[in-house]
Amino acid sequence: MENDKTDERLRVYLASPLGFSRENNPYRERIKERLERLGLSVFDPWEQEEVAQRIEEAMSIAEGAERARAIQEAARFTGAVNAQGLKGSDLVLAVLDGTEPDSGTVAELGYGCGIGKKCYGLRTDFRDCGDFPGVALNLQVLYFIEESGGRLFRRIEEIEL
């Protein structure tokens, strides 16, 4: 698990659903490039090789109880790696695009906020998915971002942490 705090730069945890499709990799890379240009060190859960290896191994097992058990263990391991990544980071940036933000990304954002991290959101999707017209996100998600001292960005180029 990558969680080296010897790097003196501020560390940002990049919460996103962008690893579920390789087609999203260029978008994720653009975000990481912006963060690195700002002098930040990035913890990207999608780059945790042991997580990917455990999930791949679990998914390769034939259907049945052994496979179900292996998937549950891989899921617990993934959650623990992500929690450690959040604890070891100074900030959280959550990618919140889509008609409804990804539940795992919102969970990471909430966990980060709950343990006292300053949280930010990135929503480049021009559609509002909030509870009220003109509100870009669910009011609780937006509230927790702002309550933590962070803010919502609408373009990658606007990100300032």
Greatest extent of the chain over all pairs of C-alpha atoms, in Å: 48
Is 97 or 131 the better-scoring residue by pLDDT? 97
What integer is the mean pLDDT of 20-41? 97
Model's pTM, two decimal places? 0.91
HSE-CB of 38 using CA atoms within 13 angstroms: 18
Tell me if 28 sits within 8 A of 97, measured CB to CB: no
Per-residue pLDDT band for 59 (boundaries 50, 70, 90) equals very high
Is 29 or 6 the better-scoring residue by pLDDT? 29
Distance, CA of 29 to CA of 128 (rounded, Å): 24
Amino acid at 68: A
11-45+88-158 belongs to CATH 3.40.50.450: yes
pLDDT on residue 132: 87
Distance, CA of 105 to CA of 72 (rounded, Å): 19
pLDDT on residue 130: 81
List pLDDT tens digits, range 62-89.
Answer: 999 999 999 999 999 999 999 999 999 9
For the chain, the average pLDDT equals 94
What are the extents of the domains in the chain? 11-45+88-158
Report how far apart the first and last C-alpha atoms of the chain are (Å, whole number).
25
